Amino acid sequence: MRASGTSAVAMRARSATADAATADRARPRILFLIRSLGRGGAERQLVALATGLRRAGWDVAVACFYGGGAFQRDLRQADVAVIDLGKRGRWDTAGFLRRLWRTLREHDPDLVHGYLTVGNLLSLLARFASRHTRIAWGVRSSYIDRDRYDWLSRLTFRLSCRLARFADLIVFNSEAGAAHHAALGYPRERIRVVPNGIDTQRFRFDAAGRARLRKAWNIPDHAVLVGLVGRLDAMKDHPVFLEAAAMLAARDPRWRFVCVGGGGGSAYAGTLAARAAELGLHDRLVWAGPQDDMPAVYSALDIAASTSYGEGFPNTVAEAMACGRPCVVTDVGDSARIVGACGAVVEPRNPAAFAEGVERTLHAVENTDGRLHAMARARIVENFALESLLRNSEAAFRAVCASREPS
């Protein structure tokens, strides 16, 4: 009897070991490739996906051209390996490419997942480093006015349209982005849409954070605060936000406004500040710069705004809604799909329409006794939670790694 029992225990142990080995084989080794881990929507999504996969037992590493970004600590706290490729500037190419090649050879990933245009293009080197490695591209935009950017940005985008056929999988975070790039030559049969995922446990209404920031920004309790969260970039169209703000301020003394985000360079920031002064917004508008406590930022707002004339899946809109904030957005990318009935959708580049949408949304808030706040959060929890991003990404990664031949 003792021998039989011992044999049964041994068999269960062997079965458990075999199950663990099978599970390991089902979880490919994945290496993400991105320019940096600085503040940004794409970077935040990469961190959310990488840490989520690591919690699920995947072998995950992130290689970045430039180390030391704001999100690097988050990855390391989640036990995700961060590989600093040590790029020293735009023209540090030969040494950088050698370090990248060495990383691909030594790490030997089953899947290299590029993020954004240059990361996607460089991920193709993995095809030469290892025959078995599959390549996934991550595209986070739809329409972008390339004429507003430098020649290198335009060149790399044209290259991506030509070389996309060599990727095994192309992941878009928006339906609009997938359709736009397919029309430009991206292979439709390799496109997969996986919407962004929001950590709804982190992004939720924070009453204490609201009070703290409104006090810091000198926003009276009776004021209605409208906020634009996003980097100072031409595509975000801050001038339309400023002009709409001036229209609202002229109609009602309760309106206050805040712009949260950095970047853009001092010249562009100065141009925006000068325009705000011309519009008479100096005592109604706060330039808050970059902020770390984003749930507190969203909670401080009464209405969140997005005036962009080009977007894919705007994280700031979904994050604000997860914090119970109704949103007024322009009808670009997947913004309307995210907002649904929890705010207003207006045409881009139309300050008057945007101001009217803000007024209409405030009226809806005041006449629904707070229900619009709950509706906004529920829409994100039900449709765009982090769990959906992880589940859909895992399925796509397993499928492409199981394919027999690379593209």
Residues, the chain, total?
Answer: 407
The 10s digit of each residue's pLDDT in 67-112 is 988 899 999 999 999 999 999 988 899 999 999 999 999 999 999 9
Identify the pLDDT of residue 41. 84
Distance of CA 27 to the CA centre of its chain: 24
Q: What is the pLDDT of residue 406?
A: 61
129-156 mean pLDDT: 87
Mean pLDDT of 301-322: 96
The answer to whether 131 and 152 have CB atoms below 8 angstroms apart is no
Q: What is the pLDDT averaged over residues 171-197?
A: 96
Sorted by where each begins, the domain ranges of the chain are 26-197+386-402, 207-383
What is the residue whose two structure tokens read 């072998």? Answer: 59
pLDDT(5) > 60 = no
Cα(181)–Cα(185) distance, rounded to whole angstroms?
A: 7
| Residues 209-264: tens digit of each pLDDT | 999 999 999 999 999 999 999 999 999 999 999 999 999 999 999 999 999 999 87
Percent of the chain with pLDDT over 70: 93
Please give the CATH architecture assigned to the domain spanning 207-383.
Answer: 3-Layer(aba) Sandwich (3.40)
Task: For residue 228, give the nearest of 181, 179, 272, 195 by alpha carbon.
Answer: 272
- 13 pLDDT above the threshold of 60: no
Quickly state the pLDDT bin for 40 (edges 50, 70, 90): confident
- For the cut 60, the answer to whether the pLDDT of residue 19 exceeds it is no
Confidence of residue 26 (pLDDT cuts 50, 70, 90): low
pLDDT at 137 over 90: yes
Contact 44, 71 (CB under 8 A): yes
Residue 96: count other Cβ atoms within 10 Å of its Cβ: 17
Q: How confident is the model at residue 142 (pLDDT cuts 50, 70, 90)?
A: confident
d(CA 8, CA 264): 66
Mean predicted confidence (pLDDT) in 170-198:
96
d(CA 369, CA 378): 16
Q: Give the model's confidence band at 145: pLDDT under 50 very low, under 70 low, under 90 confident, else very high.
A: confident
Helices (H), 94-147: 94-107, 116-123, 126-129
Rounded distance, CA 327 to CA 334, Å?
Answer: 13
Q: Do 26-197+386-402 and 207-383 show the same overall fold?
A: yes
Give residue 377's pLDDT band: very low, low, confident or very high (50, 70, 90). Answer: very high
Identify residue 3 by its one-letter amino acid code. Answer: A
pLDDT at 15 over 80: no
Amino acid 17: pLDDT: 46
Q: Evaluate if residue 6 carries a pLDDT over 70.
A: no
Question: What single-letter DSSP state applies at residue 313?
Answer: S
- d(C-alpha 96, C-alpha 242), whole Å: 42
- The whole-angstrom separation of Cα 106 and Cα 3 is 46
- Strand, helix or coil at 334? coil
Indicate the pLDDT class of residue 9, thresholds 50, 70 and 90. very low
Residue 16 has pLDDT above 70, yes or no: no
Q: Alpha-carbon distance 195 to 178, whole Å? A: 11
**What is the residue-wise DSSP string for 40-67?**
SHHHHHHHHHHHHHHHTT--EEEEEEE-
26-197+386-402, CATH topology level: Rossmann fold (3.40.50)
330 within 8 A of 308, measured Cβ to Cβ: yes
**What would the pLDDT profile of 251-301 be if each residue is shown by its tens digit?**
999 999 999 999 878 899 999 999 999 999 989 999 999 999 999 999 999
The larger pLDDT score, comparing residue 25 to residue 318, is at 318
Contacts of 350-356 with CB under 8 Å at 24 or more apart are 350/240, 351/240, 351/243, 351/244, 351/247, 352/244, 352/247, 354/240, 354/241, 354/244, 354/305, 354/307, 354/328, 354/330, 355/244, 355/245, 355/247, 355/248
Q: Give Cα 318 to chain centroid, integer Å.
A: 10
> pLDDT at position 323, please?
98
Closest to 302 measured CA to CA, from 264, 328, 276, 340: 328
Average confidence (pLDDT) over 17-44: 75
Give the mean pLDDT of the chain. Answer: 91
pLDDT of residue 150: 81
- Give 195's pLDDT tier (boundaries 50, 70, 90): very high
Rounded Cα distance between 369 and 179, Å, is 39
What's the mean pLDDT in 395-404? 89
Question: At 185, phi and psi to the nearest 5?
Answer: 115, -5
From 115, 107, 110, select the one nearest 69 (Cα to Cα).
Answer: 115
Q: Confidence band (pLDDT; 50, 70, 90) for 20?
A: very low
CA distances from 160 to 117, 187, 283, 402 (A): 7, 11, 45, 25
Rounded Cα distance between 29 and 108, Å, is 8
